[in-house]
Amino acid sequence: MLFTSYGFIGFLLIVLVLYYILPKSFQKVILLLASFAFYALSGPLYLLYLFSAILTTFLAGRYMGKNIEVQKAYIADHRDTISREGRKLYNARQKAKRKRAMVYAIVINIGVLSVVKYTNFVIGNINALGGQLTFLDIALPLGISYYTLMSVGYLVDIFRGTIKAETNLLNYALFLSFFPHIVQGPISRYGELSRTLCEPHDFNSQNIIFGAERILFGFFKKLVIADRLFPVVSTIAGDPKTYRGAYILCLMFFYTLELYADFTGGIDITIGVAEMFGIKMTENFERPYFSKSLKEYWRRWHISMGTWFKDYLFFPIAMSSTMQKFSKFLRKHFGDYVGKRLPVYISSFIVWFMTGLWHGASWNFIVWGLLNYVILMISEEFEPLTVKFHEKFIPMENRVYQGFMVIRTMIMVSMLKIFDCYANVGDVFASIGSIFTTGNFGIFTDGSLLELGMDVFDHGVIFATTLLLFVLSMIQRRGSIRQRMLALPFAVRAMLISALFIGVLLLGDYGVGYDSSQFIYNRF
């Protein structure tokens, strides 16, 4: 069920009413049943995948939790009789048992994700090399890429001792299946979400109003901006032979805007829905298009994914004893510089390869991930030079130069983003190359842009809404817009909300037989 469908609005209203009119002890159960119902609507059989992830990771977590208790009790009981060495040996054995449980559960769940998401990709590659394998008729269960990462994070956190294992299956099932975040994240952490998710909530009109405002803004971004841009993006990327040169610049701009409106709009709806239930979720964006470097961009875009890969993949690899030994070996034979850098670069390479692969089973995403890696590593290598440049010529604080850095980052990001749009990597490189060779810049003035699926009115709407997003982002730098709106007189606030609502109704890209397009990040 799409967030932007009438069905979802009806579903949300029913769940909200039940959530607040029934006794508070039922709230978790209502949310859980609603989440299962929401999930079942994507295909009842897919529930089996979700249930298997819930059960396997819950049981592994329980085992680890119990093991920690047993270990603590044993050490407490034998404090006077066990030597320091004996205690260390016992602790190490228990830790190894927990590690086994964690690894088994992770292998099962990553295994399921790999089979459903990557089998046909592997078959396609084998066939390209001359194989004749038949593709599997297998569909991707809703949100599997998200809930798998959440469940892995949960197990690793228990193993690391940063959270306690959940003892209540319903609480854990709700954490993994909570309907607002299962379709496109954020990739929540159990330690951050479980308390607010499972504790009872009183009805609070402020939560309802704030949540509704956030949802409305999400609808606005998705229906007015993202869906309006969708046809143009599809037209240009769908025919790489015809649309070349300056059209690719349009694609870069339009797709960057579409993806922002689509993904941040979807997350606005997610966070807004949760807020209506009194549940506070972590933010997934921090004005990413104001970043001055690609490194900064990745700290501000899809934050929950970036931090997941950093905490659960990059650090474990980069800090593993194997990598530390490798670093020592390199320093001994090749000097400090190589010894310090190479292990980090290898770890980053693995992380960016996996980040690309996680986004989708296609070479486009893998190449996209690796290009991000290459740019980030080049920036890292040139950092000392950059620092010297700023010391000698233009100080980092120079506002004009900062603006240049933001635009430079935007161009880089938008060039990388169009890897999502094309059918294959060759088309992407050919299209980007054509910007420098085609020279058809006349399309900006001869009316060609009006033949791509947006008329003058649509272009006007996109111009005005882009400006609006920019202004809102500037205001947001000084704090929450909704909090600031509270200080306004009620009539002004009501007028602004009504304007947004009317904007969604009148400017939403509905058309005949309207069917809002799928959120882009749902497919990951």
Partner 1 sequence: MNVREELMEILEDLHPEVDFETEDALVSGKVLDSFDIVNLVTELDDAFDIEITAADLVPENFDTVDGIAELIMKRMEDI
Residue ranges in 103-132 that form contacts with partner 1 under rule CB under 8 A:
none
Q: Which stretch binds partner 1 (CB under 8 A): 134-142, 200-208, 318-326, 432-440?
A: 318-326
Cα 273 to Cα 3: distance, rounded to the nearest angstrom: 10
Cα 68 to Cα 105: distance, rounded to the nearest angstrom: 17
What value, to the nearest 5°, has the Cα angle with vertex 286 and ends 171 and 203? Answer: 40
CB nearer to partner 1: pick between 155 and 504? 155
Considering the rule CB under 8 A, would residue 314 count as an interface residue with partner 1?
A: yes
Sign (positive/negative) of CA torsion 256, 262, 266, 269?
Answer: positive
Shortest Å distance, C-beta 331 to partner 1: 8
Please report, as a single letter, which amino acid is at residue 331. R
CB nearer to partner 1: pick between 299 and 417? 299
Shortest Å distance, C-beta 28 to partner 1: 28
Cα 498 to Cα 500: distance, rounded to the nearest angstrom: 5
Shortest Å distance, C-beta 203 to partner 1: 34
Q: Which stretch binds partner 1 (CB under 8 A): 244-252, 286-294, 324-332, 454-462?
A: 324-332
Q: Which stretch binds partner 1 (CB under 8 A): 34-42, 219-227, 283-291, 310-318?
A: 310-318
Is 300:291 a contact under the CB 8 Å cutoff? yes
Please report, as a single letter, which amino acid is at residue 231. P
Please pick, from the candidates 36, 39, 147, 159, the single residue that binds partner 1 as defined by CB under 8 A.
159
Pattern 199-218, partner 1, x by CB under 8 A? --------------------
Considering the rule CB under 8 A, would residue 86 count as an interface residue with partner 1?
A: no
Q: Which stretch binds partner 1 (CB under 8 A): 131-139, 159-167, 216-224, 415-423?
A: 159-167
Could you please report the per-residue DSSP string of 277-332?
Answer: TT-------S-GGG-SSHHHHHHHSSHHHHHHHIIIIIHHHHTSHHHHHHHHHHHH
Q: What letter would DSSP give residue 226?
A: I
Shortest Å distance, C-beta 406 to partner 1: 18
The helix/strand count (H/E) of the chain reads as: 22, 0
Q: Which stretch binds partner 1 (CB under 8 A): 73-81, 115-123, 130-138, 322-330?
A: 322-330
Considering the rule CB under 8 A, would residue 328 count as an interface residue with partner 1?
A: yes
Please pick, from the candidates 319, 423, 494, 506, the single residue that binds partner 1 as defined by CB under 8 A.
319
CB environment 451-478: b (16+ within 10 A), e (fewer):
ebebeeebeebbeebeeebeeeeeeeee
Collect all residues with Cβ–Cβ distance below 8 Å to 31 and sequence separation of at least 6.
15, 19, 174, 178, 179, 197, 277
Q: Which tokens hold the place of 484?
A: 């600031």
Cα 397 to Cα 379: distance, rounded to the nearest angstrom: 19
Collect all residues with Cβ–Cβ distance below 8 Å to 434 and sequence separation of at least 6.
244, 245, 248
Considering the rule CB under 8 A, would residue 335 count as an interface residue with partner 1?
A: no
Please pick, from the candidates 160, 332, 408, 484, the single residue that binds partner 1 as defined by CB under 8 A.
160
Residues 64, 66, 72, 74, Cα dihedral to 10°: -120
Shortest Å distance, C-beta 315 to partner 1: 4
Please pick, from the candidates 52, 206, 324, 386, the single residue that binds partner 1 as defined by CB under 8 A.
324
Q: Which stretch binds partner 1 (CB under 8 A): 71-79, 131-139, 238-246, 312-320?
A: 312-320
Cα 387 to Cα 488: distance, rounded to the nearest angstrom: 44
CB nearer to partner 1: pick between 201 and 380? 380
Please pick, from the candidates 340, 388, 408, 523, the single residue that binds partner 1 as defined by CB under 8 A.
340
CB nearer to partner 1: pick between 194 and 362? 194
Please pick, from the candidates 238, 316, 403, 460, the single residue that binds partner 1 as defined by CB under 8 A.
316
Shortest Å distance, C-beta 366 to partner 1: 21
Please pick, from the candidates 112, 344, 346, 430, the single residue that binds partner 1 as defined by CB under 8 A.
344
Shortest Å distance, C-beta 275 to partner 1: 24
Of 475, 473, 474, 366, which Cα lies nearest the Cα of 425?
Answer: 366
Q: Which stretch binds partner 1 (CB under 8 A): 124-132, 311-319, 416-424, 436-444?
A: 311-319
**# of chain residues touching partner 1 (CB under 8 A):** 24
Q: Scan for tokens 């298997």, then name that residue.
A: 52
- At residue 334, φ and ψ (nearest 5 deg) are -125, 0
Cα 367 to Cα 373: distance, rounded to the nearest angstrom: 10
Please pick, from the candidates 380, 401, 438, 500, the single residue that binds partner 1 as defined by CB under 8 A.
380
CB environment 31-46: b (16+ within 10 A), e (fewer):
bbebbbebbeebeeeb
Grouping H, G, I as helix, E, B as strand and the rest as coil, residue 488 is coil
Considering the rule CB under 8 A, would residue 192 count as an interface residue with partner 1?
A: no
Please pick, from the candidates 56, 109, 293, 327, the single residue that binds partner 1 as defined by CB under 8 A.
327
Pattern 257-296, partner 1, x by CB under 8 A? --------------------------------------x-
Cα 167 to Cα 243: distance, rounded to the nearest angstrom: 57
Q: What letter would DSSP give residue 220?
A: I
Shortest Å distance, C-beta 344 to partner 1: 5
Shortest Å distance, C-beta 174 to partner 1: 26
Q: Which stretch binds partner 1 (CB under 8 A): 26-34, 128-136, 155-163, 198-206?
A: 155-163
Cα 51 to Cα 59: distance, rounded to the nearest angstrom: 12
Q: Which stretch binds partner 1 (CB under 8 A): 5-13, 167-175, 317-325, 362-370?
A: 317-325
Q: Footprint of partner 1 on this chain (CB under 8 A)?
A: 88, 159-162, 295, 299, 310-311, 314-316, 318-319, 321, 324, 327-328, 339-340, 343-344, 347, 380
